[in-house]
Structure 1
Amino acid sequence: MNNHRNMQKITQIVLYVALVIVAIIVVAPFVWMVSISFDRLANIQVPFPPTFIPDPFSLFNYELVFENGRIFSAYLNSAFVTFCSVFLQISAALLGGYAFSKGQFKGKKLLFIIVLATMMIPIEARLIPLYTMFNSAGLLNTFWPVIVPSILYGFGVFLAKQFFDQVPDSLREAAQIDGASEFRTFFQVYAPLAGPITATLIILSFMGNWNEFVWPLVVLNSERLHTIPLFLASFSLENGTSLAGMTMALATMSVLPIIIVFVFLQRYIIQSIALSGLKE
């Protein structure tokens, strides 16, 4: 018995050590990025080997970033596109998940398989058809091509369906007995219970849309419409490593909203996974 407990302790220690090593490997590049952003001399030469405490510590790079008004425009563009895309994605995912979970209609399984199949199609395979469609509609170089395709969110529909599968059907039956329509049943009965899964979908959707690069690069040609990833890419392309400190300051500013959203909503992820039936 003692040997078994000792073996368990050793296994846990090895596991924790391995997790700490992996965490350091994952976090170290981000810490180095932040360190370089506070290093004024990094604009002349990137410190190597990497130093994680800048010497001297300076806000010079951030002052340069904010002196350039383009970052404010890029932030506003990213915020607008991300907010609209997240709203459409979450709304469509919750409604679709509810329909596939509680609805009774012909071809439900086939339609659900088709929705899941969209997760297997990479954006590169959809670039030409989407570009042709929006070009024919005269919507290129506007935010519409970036926002509209985000409505189809296969993973979100799948996750929402898994969640609603765990909610008793008796709630829907009771609402129908009281004369509630299907939409009223969803919005007044099921939607208030979907807080954890909604928070998880918001995090995943926000990260995906805020960091979207390839598709906006294709359809947004004007600099005034550039989002944060496009602005960062254009700045890096123009300056290369000659202004590494300023580039890293821009990169740090670009991930800051994602960190803020994650910090506020991350506690819902584990809860939603447990409630959605994905837990082992």
Structure 2
Amino acid sequence: MKAGLSYKKREQIAGGFNFVILLLFGLLLITPFVWMVSVGFDRTANVTMPFPPKLIPKHLSSFNFGIVFENGSLIKAYLNSAIVTVSSVFIGVSASLLAGYAFSKGRFKGKKVLFVVVLCTLMIPMEPRLIPLYKLFNSVHLLNTFWPLVLPSLISGMLIFLCKQFFDQLPDTLREASQIDGAGEFTTFFRIYLPLAGPIVATMIILAFIWSWNDFMWPLVVLNDKELQTVPLYLASFSLENGTSLGGLTMALATMSVLPIVILYLFLQKYIIQSIALSGVKGE
């Protein structure tokens, strides 16, 4: 009994210690974000950036955010980013779900080799692909449009890998029973497996959303028209034009640029946690 109590006490102490460590790291990671929001609410930061940095400004003001909402260029950039991101997420998640299901439950020649090729794409960063992709879209006259930002999302090695791992955990007997009832592959996928894939779909949506919304280098290469600028491009051009002379307004713009990601994560965090928990159920 004493040994049991001592073990329970050690568990409580270890749990409390882990909680404190994670809390400290969490506060450390969130501090830059809090400082960014704080500077955005500091009107005097447009003259001189506060030094030393303060997490709570001395004089709170919504002046910078008012200008942000009245800025037609930022609204246009938001619309551009929304079009590109929603299209990329829809295409990327849909294609990855189908590919992941095919690699997991399908039976066809060369499946393992093709899957290895897909995984190999994870080792190729974006930089070496810039010139080939640029030449490809230039040859079909699609530069300075949204198509080069959307079409590459058709193939995402990471999302396909996540889908395959998730579908591997679902029993093959569901597919076999569906085939006995006369259902085809698409019917089996859409009516049986897809409704069970909610957690992994939520994880893929937030990942694809972050990748597309925050993408800077590729849009910088293919977009020349200011009317087509996405939010990262607009924020970068605004910062270059004004430097630190409008620090408060720049931080307000930066806050608004990450707000959609924060909101989306808050809505999907429950499903993302479920996906992480399910992925370790079988120890796979």
TM-score by structure 2 length? 0.95
User: Of 40, 44, 55, which aligns to 1:41?
Assistant: 44
Q: Aligned residue for 2:264? A: 261
Paired amino acid for 1:183: F
- Tell me, which stretches of 5 or more residues in structure 1 are unaligned? none
Counterpart CA distance in 1 for 2:90 and 2:171 is: 26
Counterpart CA distance in 1 for 2:71 and 2:167 is: 47
Deviation of residue 276 (structure 1)?
3.2
What are the within-5 Å matches in structure 2 for residues 1-280 of structure 1? Answer: 1=3, 4-277=7-280
Counterpart CA distance in 2 for 1:96 and 1:204 is: 17
Counterpart CA distance in 2 for 1:278 and 1:248 is: 42
Counterpart CA distance in 1 for 2:282 and 2:235 is: 38
Give the share of equivalent positions with the same residue, in percent. 62
Per mean C-alpha deviation after superposition, the further-off stretch among 58-67 and 111-120 is: 58-67
Is the Cα contact below 8 Å between 1:98 and 1:161 reproduced in 2? Answer: yes
Is the Cα contact below 8 Å between 1:273 and 1:279 reproduced in 2? Answer: no
Counterpart CA distance in 2 for 1:50 and 1:206 is: 31
Deviation of residue 3 (structure 1)?
5.2
Counterpart CA distance in 1 for 2:50 and 2:282 is: 44
SS at match of 1:266: helix
SS at match of 1:48: coil
What are the Cα deviations for residues 134-191 of structure 1, in whole angstroms up to 9, with x where unaligned?
Answer: 1111111000111001111111111111111111111111211222111111111111
TM-score by structure 1 length? 0.96
SS at match of 2:197: helix
What are the Cα deviations for residues 58-116 of structure 1, in whole angstroms up to 9, with x where unaligned?
Answer: 11101222222001100000000000000011001110110000000011111111111
Paired amino acid for 1:22: F
Counterpart CA distance in 2 for 1:7 and 1:263 is: 34
Is the Cα contact below 8 Å between 1:166 and 1:277 reproduced in 2? Answer: no
Is the Cα contact below 8 Å between 1:97 and 1:160 reproduced in 2? Answer: yes
Task: Indicate how the Cα distance of structure 1 residues 3 and 187 shifts in structure 2: closer, same or farther if over 3 A, else same.
Answer: closer
Deviation of residue 269 (structure 1)?
1.2
Q: How many residues align?
A: 280
- Tell me, which stretches of 5 or more residues in structure 2 are unaligned? none
Paired amino acid for 1:93: S
Q: RMSD across aligned C-alpha pairs, in angstroms?
A: 1.4
Deviation of residue 207 (structure 1)?
1.0
Paired amino acid for 2:196: L
